[in-house]
């Protein structure tokens, strides 16, 4: 009995024809000798069709359909193939608009798997008359679906990479434009202008950061002078995992190339509290931390004031947080909190890109493996 999967909120690719997936659909039609073949991505918003062969208009141009027309929804919610000799004889599909309006009769659908190990689409072969599918035909369709899953995973990561970089570039341009406007502001707005210029420089530095230690180095360089913090921590937890990997940068020492400690999301630490509660967490003094945060390691020894903020990540495969520590009491006023909010945005973009690069390298380690992937 298959697992019940919730439909994704949105499809990983847009409702546009994709040359590679059109070729895959044509290959299915040729090898199985069917009238129609589709690459269908199913989500709560409907279904998009990046690959198609034999699909009539207007669907061939629209490349999208509502869920009411979806025979493939059953495959993506169970993760199991669906094979029908005659969809008109199946009570669950007989009244489907795909059967009544599009003439689908014989149907064979194999799940397409996303990088998170969940079914997100279906490779479909269908005929306009009843058909007894052979074991050899279904095995060929399964192998082509494995190939399509790998292609889909790579394209989805590449698209997410481009979107993350574009968001970072947009925010960098916005910050620089704001800095230019701030230069012409009145004297009483100079503090805000300084913060904006700081964030603009940080954004530019983070665009070239190629690893988590480089992200930490950029943050440490740009916040130590104006803010006076002694330690910067970066915590990352994969989706569905309670372990939090923590990298550290301390004044006078290079950033750690590897995580310096692993916390759990339930540990009483400002970093984990910011991640799980998705809010700014502050510790004014160590004495005031009390029982809520009994220890602050791996912050520098003697840390008095701590500010931890959740990172703004565009991906859903990880969560993160950033923590700043001071060895002398620091007033965490509105200006400091505003800098922390800007840090969370730009460091989140940089972390998005690094995690996507890491995932892309992982996908490339064994391109022959057709099995579903999980992080």
Shared domain check, 139 and 224? no
For the chain, how many structural domains are there in total?
2
Shared domain check, 287 and 149? no
Does 273 map to a domain?
yes
| Across 89-93, average pLDDT | 85
- Whole-number pLDDT of residue 37: 95
Does 333 map to a domain?
yes
| Across 310-315, average pLDDT | 78
- Whole-number pLDDT of residue 82: 93
- Whole-number pLDDT of residue 175: 65
Shared domain check, 132 and 52? yes
Better-scored residue on pLDDT, 160 or 35? 35
Query: Mean pLDDT for the chain?
Result: 81
Band (370; pLDDT cuts 50, 70, 90): very low
What's the pLDDT tens digit per position in 246-273?
988 887 677 878 888 899 999 989 999 9
Shared domain check, 311 and 199? yes
What's the pLDDT tens digit per position in 66-77?
887 778 888 988
Does 7 map to a domain?
no
Cβ–Cβ < 8 Å for 303, 271 = no
Does 289 map to a domain?
yes
Shared domain check, 332 and 195? yes
Q: H/E element holding 304?
A: none
Residues 6+ apart with CB under 8 A from 282: 270, 305, 306, 307, 308, 332
Three-state DSSP state, 169? helix
Shared domain check, 95 and 189? no
Band (225; pLDDT cuts 50, 70, 90): low
Distances (CA, A) of 241 to 85, 119, 355, 362: 42, 20, 15, 18
Three-state DSSP state, 30? helix
- Whole-number pLDDT of residue 199: 66
Better-scored residue on pLDDT, 287 or 85? 85
Better-scored residue on pLDDT, 278 or 204? 278
Shared domain check, 202 and 297? yes
Residues 6+ apart with CB under 8 A from 322: 219, 232, 233, 234, 235, 274, 308, 309, 311, 340, 343, 344, 347
Shared domain check, 190 and 64? no
Does 2 map to a domain?
no
Shared domain check, 215 and 137? no
- Whole-number pLDDT of residue 343: 81
Shared domain check, 223 and 335? yes
Query: Domain end: 157, 176, 207, which one?
Result: 157
Does 174 map to a domain?
no
What's the pLDDT tens digit per position in 162-178?
666 766 677 666 667 66
Alpha carbons 69 and 176: distance in angstroms, whole number: 47
Alpha carbons 220 and 231: distance in angstroms, whole number: 8
Shared domain check, 250 and 111? no
Does 69 map to a domain?
yes
Shared domain check, 251 and 146? no
Q: Is the pLDDT reported for residue 157 higher than 50? A: yes
What's the CATH code of the domain at 348? 3.30.450.40
Range of the domain at 30: 19-157
Band (368; pLDDT cuts 50, 70, 90): very low
What's the pLDDT tens digit per position in 125-156?
999 999 999 999 999 999 999 998 888 888 77
- Whole-number pLDDT of residue 189: 47
Band (290; pLDDT cuts 50, 70, 90): low
| Across 268-289, average pLDDT | 86
pTM flag (> 0.75): no
Q: Is the pLDDT reported for residue 326 higher than 90? A: no
């Amino acid at each position: 009995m298959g697992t019940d999967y919730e439909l994704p909120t949105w499809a990983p690719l847009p409702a546009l024809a994709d040359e590679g997936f059109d070729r895959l659909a044509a290959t299915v039609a040729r090898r199985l000798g069917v009238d129609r073949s589709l690459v269908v991505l199913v989500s709560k918003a409907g279904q998009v069709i990046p690959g198609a062969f034999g699909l009539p208009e207007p669907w061939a141009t629209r490349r999208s359909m509502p869920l009411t027309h979806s025979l493939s929804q059953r495959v993506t919610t169970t993760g199991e193939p669906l094979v029908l000799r005659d969809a008109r004889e199946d009570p669950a599909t007989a009244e489907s608009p795909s059967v009544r309006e599009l003439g689908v009769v014989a149907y064979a659908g194999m799940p397409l798997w996303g990088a998170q190990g969940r079914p997100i689409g279906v490779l479909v072969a269908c005929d306009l008359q009843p058909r007894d599918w052979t074991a050899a035909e279904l095995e060929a369709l399964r192998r082509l679906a494995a190939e399509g899953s790998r292609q889909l995973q790579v394209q989805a990561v590449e698209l997410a990479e481009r979107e993350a970089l574009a968001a970072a570039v947009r925010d960098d341009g916005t910050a620089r434009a704001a800095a230019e406007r701030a230069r012409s502001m009145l004297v009483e707005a100079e503090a805000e202008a300084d913060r904006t210029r700081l964030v603009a420089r940080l954004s530019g530095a983070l665009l070239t950061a190629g690893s988590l230690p480089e992200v930490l180095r950029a943050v440490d360089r740009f916040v130590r002078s104006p803010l006076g913090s002694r330690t910067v921590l970066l915590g990352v937890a994969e989706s569905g995992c309670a372990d939090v990997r923590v990298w550290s940068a301390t004044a006078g020492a290079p950033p750690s190339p590897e995580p310096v400690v692993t916390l759990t999301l339930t540990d009483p630490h400002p970093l984990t509290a910011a991640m799980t509660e998705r809010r700014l967490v502050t510790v004014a003094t160590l004495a005031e931390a009390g029982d809520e945060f009994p220890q602050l390691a791996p912050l520098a020894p003697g840390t008095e004031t701590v500010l931890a903020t959740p990172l703004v990540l565009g991906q859903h495969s990880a969560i993160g947080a950033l923590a700043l520590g001071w060895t002398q009491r620091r007033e965490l006023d509105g200006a400091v909190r505003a800098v922390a909010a800007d840090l969370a945005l730009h460091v989140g973009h940089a972390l998005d890109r690094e995690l996507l690069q890491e995932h892309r390298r992982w996908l490339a380690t064994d391109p022959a493996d057709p099995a579903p992937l999980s992080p």
